[in-house]
Amino acid sequence: MSTRMNNAEPFVKSNGKTATANARRARPRAPGDTEEPTISEPADIITTIAASLRRERERAGLSLAELARRARLAKSTLSQLESGAGNPSVETLWALSLALEVPFSRLVEPPLPDVHVIRAEEAAYTRSEEAPYRVALLSPCPPGARRDVYRVLAEPGAARVTTTPHQAGVREHVVLCTGRALVGPLDAAVELGPGDYAAYPGDIPHLFRALEAGTAAVMVIEHR
């Protein structure tokens, strides 16, 4: 698992002016793009991650060194994240959520108001370091519920393979919106087209691989 991180850099609009944090957008990652995958905008998510990591680590009674050991990260990497200086990949955040035994959403989302709307162009995406794949958390698991809702954008290329499974009992639900994709357990993946739905265990190795350009899906991760 990679522990590399990029520091956020200013985003410059086409007119040469530096954009504000909330106006920044992540560019799609093309097959073969070697840029380190990071959290995309809004940039405030980095501050949220820093506060959430400290909160959940202290709640669990873990030292920086112990959480880093459990997540297989360098202590300095974790320290950067908690200080708000790091910009983690989706794989790093999944490793930390597993080590803390909390849903992924607990680390990336602040509390939501009663009525919450995310416009398509406003979603904050996390890129994979393994495939042309981005995911945006749309609805985190609220108190009394056990599910997270994501939007997935992916392009043809390497499959996004989850080799470190989620917590025991987790189940993934995918509705494909556009394009085509191969999804599911490594030994039983199925091809989906627009409108197709699939559910499969998330606590075993599984994959998501776009077969057409512009593939998009809604994913629900159900915790039991």
Give the model confidence (pLDDT) of 144-186 as tens digits: 667 889 999 999 999 888 877 677 888 899 999 999 999 999 9
pTM over 0.75: no
Please determine, for residue 124, whether its predicted confidence score (pLDDT) is greater than 90.
no
Residue of 80 and 14 predicted with greater confidence: 80
Query: Residue 26 is which amino acid?
Result: A
| DSSP letter (8 states) at residue 18 | B
CB neighbours of 200 closer than 8 A, spacing ≥ 6?
171, 172, 183, 184, 185, 188, 206
Question: Quick check: 90 and 131 in contact, CB under 8 A?
Answer: no
**Token pair 């039983």: residue:** 188
* 45-64 per-residue burial string, b: 16 or more CB within 10 A, e: under 16: bbebbbebbeebbeeeebeb
Arithmetic mean of pLDDT over the chain: 78
Find, among 110, 219, 87, the residue nearest to 166 by Cα: 219
